[in-house]
Amino acid sequence: MSVLVFAELDNGSIKKSSLEAIYYGLEVAKAKGSSVTVLAIGESSNEALAIAGKYGATKVLWASDARLNIASIQAYSSVLAEAVNATSAEFVILSKSSLGDAVSARVSAKLKASIVSNVVDLPDFSSGVTVKRSIYTGKAFATVALTADKKVIAIKKNAVNVVEGDGSASVENFAPALNDADFAVKVTGTHKASGQVSLPEADLVVSAGRGLKGPENWGIVEDLANALGAATACSKPVSDLDWRPHHEHVGQTGIKVSPNLYIACGISGAIQHLAGVNSSKVIVVINKDPEAPFFKAADYGIVGDVFDVLPRLTKAIQAS
């Protein structure tokens, strides 16, 4: 048996969330006396992929067929299923993401595998294989038993504390046969929906709400985001009012983010907003109302006016 991790790439490099999946795979492999193979699909380089070794992989299978440079769900699912067969993997680990969700569902159907998503902890092997998954937008957990021979586990971002080692993985070409049906749906081009940093993947997020009073004031939010290299986000009313585009809206009805740092500026902290941000590692709240509910969910709070606090914070970060 072996452990196979599907690594997503961003500009040829393995995404941070996939490095977490590799590290999770390493912990599973240790428990089973096995090793970790990574599958990477699309444009990259030997050097960029060998990094997987620092997180526990011994080998990377690289499917570098040029037709795979733009993600095709069918083709990626076929390649992953072939890689599972080629490595006789019992465990397939990947990160929970829109691509991960689409691919893992198809692969588990092809392989008749047990599948579980939003996993927040390592498997328990004391009686079969059980895992803990987050449900109801992080309000509760469910323990799920994986009973099929093959098990697909999609882990929640930031659920694993990764420890970087100094290993290097070997990189091997992987070229399963693909046919026209694998490319029946063709993505002919992609463009980034938001600013410089993609919101669902962002490590740092600066988010603002109705406390900003109007779209003309967003410059102070963008200045802080640029100083930090962060993505920008907003509350629902802000996008409903067309102050910001809808793809920046986070919460129960918007995007769910799990950054290392979420800075909420002039946002009250309604339960529907918190549902999209409560798995952030550190939450900083800036609000002029000391009774704002968001302070209850905050790791750090600044009671103050955003028009005063944000420019000072940006200046301090630029000076540091």
- The window from 3-11, 171-179, 221-229, 303-311 that contacts ligand FAD (CB under 6 A) reads 303-311
- If the CB atoms of residues 50 and 303 are measured against ligand FAD, the closer one turns out to be 303
- If the CB atoms of residues 164 and 305 are measured against ligand FAD, the closer one turns out to be 305
Contacts of 59 (CB under 8 A, 6+ apart): 35, 37, 38, 169, 170, 171, 172
- As a whole number of angstroms, the distance between CA 289 and CA 268 comes to 9
250, 273 in Cβ contact below 8 A?
yes
With residue 20 as reference, give the H or E element that holds it.
helix 16-32
- If the CB atoms of residues 164 and 240 are measured against ligand FAD, the closer one turns out to be 240
103, 6 in Cβ contact below 8 A?
yes
63, 176 in Cβ contact below 8 A?
yes
Site for ligand FAD contains 236 (CB under 6 A):
yes
Out of 30, 58, 252, 311, the only residue in the binding site for ligand FAD (CB under 6 A) is 252
Question: What are 245's two structure tokens?
Answer: 């585009």
Measured CA distances, 58 to 37, 45, 53, 67, 170 (Å): 6, 16, 6, 26, 6
How many other CB atoms sit within 10 Å of the CB of residue 44?
21
- As a whole number of angstroms, the distance between CA 269 and CA 260 comes to 18
- The window from 4-12, 54-62, 110-118, 272-280 that contacts ligand FAD (CB under 6 A) reads 272-280
- If the CB atoms of residues 54 and 236 are measured against ligand FAD, the closer one turns out to be 236
For residue 57, which of 28, 96, 82 has the smallest C-alpha distance? 28
- The window from 82-90, 151-159, 218-226, 245-253 that contacts ligand FAD (CB under 6 A) reads 245-253
- If the CB atoms of residues 114 and 287 are measured against ligand FAD, the closer one turns out to be 287
> In the complex, what is the shortest distance from the CB of residue 295 to ligand FAD, in angstroms, rounded to a whole number?
10
Out of 276, 278, 301, 313, the only residue in the binding site for ligand FAD (CB under 6 A) is 276
Give the total residue count for the chain: 320
One-letter identity of residue 5: V
Out of 164, 289, 296, 299, the only residue in the binding site for ligand FAD (CB under 6 A) is 289
Residue identified by tokens 């946002």 is 267
Longest Cα separation, the chain:
61
x/- site string to ligand FAD, residues 94 to 133, per CB under 6 A? ----------------------------------------
- If the CB atoms of residues 49 and 238 are measured against ligand FAD, the closer one turns out to be 238
> In the complex, what is the shortest distance from the CB of residue 269 to ligand FAD, in angstroms, rounded to a whole number?
7
Residue identified by tokens 């599958």 is 39
- The window from 104-112, 125-133, 214-222, 263-271 that contacts ligand FAD (CB under 6 A) reads 263-271
Site for ligand FAD contains 30 (CB under 6 A):
no
Please list every residue from 184 through 223 that binds ligand FAD, using CB under 6 A: 209-211
Footprint of ligand FAD (CB under 6 A): 209-211, 235-238, 249, 251-254, 266-268, 270, 272-273, 276, 287-289, 292, 305-307
